[in-house]
Amino acid sequence: MSLLYIRNDSSEDFTLVSNCFLDKYMPEANGEFVKIYLYLLRAMSDKTSQFSLLSIADTLNCTEKDIERALKYWCKKGIIRLEFDDHKQIAGIVLLPFAASRPETTLQTAVSSEPSKTQPEAAKTSTIMAVKEVEKPQQILTPARIKELKKNEDIIQLLFIAEQYLGKTLSPTETTRLLYFYEELGFSADLIEYLIEYCVSKGSKSIRYIEKVALAWHEGNITTVEAAKQESNTYHRNYFAILKALGISSRNPVDSEIQIMNRWLKEYAFTLDIIVEACNRTITQTGKPSFPYADGILHSWYQKKVLTLDDIVKLDNEHKKTKETSESAGTKAKSPNKFNNFPQREYNFNDLEKQLLNK
């Protein structure tokens, strides 16, 4: 295979990305997390930009939960710091220096080394930041740590069981992701085993799908197998509530229906009452259960940022007003009927009366 070259013929402005981020942090990170971090860099370069978690989510076509999950990930990696208000809501994001770009020094030597009098103030700030970061140990899954973990008896057994469930030898990426769940997310080996079992039972052996479920459990503070099973049972109850709303009560959902319902519950993050409302409308409009029809309704509501039943009522009212306005305009523009679709004659009745009297 021939080598490739890269040449820059662009004169556009740029957002600078640290090589340390590209070399050290990007390869092991989720693609969505990388995208969100790059967006933060872009926002930093725009001095006049004002944004919120909602505006970031709208720009990147994801949910606020996705944004919060990415921010917490990068915070744990030590390359950003989150600041919170009195209500424990995220109020600020501070981008920090990268660990690999800091001098290899202890806390004591870092404190004792003072910047020279001619050193710029920016450099002084960077030194203070570096000291603060040395105080906080970094949790990075290094090759040495991976090698150490793979000697753990629980991990050895976990990786063996994972290969049995997935039906193949684990790739280095898959192994690293499972170790990430253990080391960074704090999952026990038993919980990871149940995680794999659960995902396989849902018809997916993809490490990306397994990772999404793991992150969702981590976000929901699920730390035990019992809690995970309870969460799974909650989703199962939701499945049957949706089937009941569609008039289906004599069977279990099939895989394709579960995928659609997971999209409604997880990706769209709709509450059950909104989903049931869409199912009710499906039956009213079609007279039969139809997942595609209900999916069309919910996709439309998702695009229109529906969060509550009140939002649906507002959309209904807007649609009704638009329809009434359109019908009113159509009535005014109606074409002439057969009784007045020819030129009308104009008569002067006074002249006609005179003509008749003179005869």
CATH of the domain at 78: 1.10.10.10
Please indicate, yes or no, whether residues 154 and 236 belong to a single structural domain of this protein. no
316 belongs to a structural domain = no
Please indicate, yes or no, whether residues 41 and 93 belong to a single structural domain of this protein. yes
In this prediction, residue 77 carries a pLDDT of 87
330 belongs to a structural domain = no
The rounded distance, in Å, linking the Cα atoms of 68 and 216 is: 12
Please indicate, yes or no, whether residues 178 and 262 belong to a single structural domain of this protein. no
Secondary structure in 3-state letters for the chain:
CCCCCCCCCCCCCCCCCCHHHHHHHCCCCCHHHHHHHHHHHHHHHCCCCCCCHHHHHHHHCCCHHHHHHHHHHHHHHCCEEEEECCCCCEEEEEECCCHHHCCCCCHHHHHHCCCCCCCCHHHHHHHHHHHHHHHCCCCCCCHHHHHHHCCCHHHHHHHHHHHHHHCCCCCHHHHHHHHHHHHCCCCCHHHHHHHHHHHHHCCCCCHHHHHHHHHHHHHCCCCCHHHHHHHHHHHHHHHHHHHHHCCCCCCCCCHHHHHHHHHHHHHCCCCHHHHHHHHHHHHHHHCCCCHHHHHHHHHHHHHCCCCCHHHHHHHHHHHHHHHHHHHHHHHHCCCCCCCCCCCCCCCCHHHHHHHHHHC
Q: What is the pLDDT of residues 85-136, one digit of tens each?
A: 777 788 888 888 876 444 333 333 333 333 333 433 333 333 333 333 333 3
The range of the structural domain enclosing residue 166 comes to 143-201+208-218
In this prediction, residue 157 carries a pLDDT of 93
Question: Among 189, 218, 247, which residue terminates a domain?
Answer: 218
The rounded distance, in Å, linking the Cα atoms of 301 and 101 is: 46
Please indicate, yes or no, whether residues 246 and 283 belong to a single structural domain of this protein. yes
Q: Which two tokens stand for residue 64?
A: 């606020």
In this prediction, residue 341 carries a pLDDT of 56
Please indicate, yes or no, whether residues 24 and 74 belong to a single structural domain of this protein. yes
353 belongs to a structural domain = no
272 belongs to a structural domain = yes
Question: Among 190, 218, 246, which residue terminates a domain?
Answer: 218
Please indicate, yes or no, whether residues 156 and 131 belong to a single structural domain of this protein. no
In this prediction, residue 357 carries a pLDDT of 59
Please indicate, yes or no, whether residues 213 and 239 belong to a single structural domain of this protein. no
In this prediction, residue 3 carries a pLDDT of 61
In this prediction, residue 266 carries a pLDDT of 79
- Chain position carrying tokens 């499945």: 239
The rounded distance, in Å, linking the Cα atoms of 288 and 282 is: 7
8 belongs to a structural domain = no
Please indicate, yes or no, whether residues 197 and 130 belong to a single structural domain of this protein. no
Q: Which two tokens stand for residue 302?
A: 């998702």
Give mean pLDDT in consecutive 10-residue pieces for the chain, a chain of 359 residues.
55 77 87 89 68 82 85 88 81 77 34 36 33 38 85 92 92 92 91 92 86 86 88 78 89 83 87 93 92 94 90 91 79 56 57 60
CATH of the domain at 248: 1.10.10
What's the domain count of the chain? 3
In this prediction, residue 326 carries a pLDDT of 78
Please indicate, yes or no, whether residues 99 and 196 belong to a single structural domain of this protein. no
Q: Which two tokens stand for residue 196?
A: 């794999």
277 belongs to a structural domain = yes
Question: Among 185, 218, 251, which residue terminates a domain?
Answer: 218
Angle subtended at Cα 349 by Cα 344 and Cα 352, rounded to the nearest 5 degrees: 110
In this prediction, residue 54 carries a pLDDT of 83
Please indicate, yes or no, whether residues 43 and 131 belong to a single structural domain of this protein. yes
Please indicate, yes or no, whether residues 83 and 166 belong to a single structural domain of this protein. no
Cβ neighbours of residue 324 closer than 8 Å, sequence gap 6 or more: none
63 belongs to a structural domain = yes
273 belongs to a structural domain = yes
Please indicate, yes or no, whether residues 48 and 130 belong to a single structural domain of this protein. yes
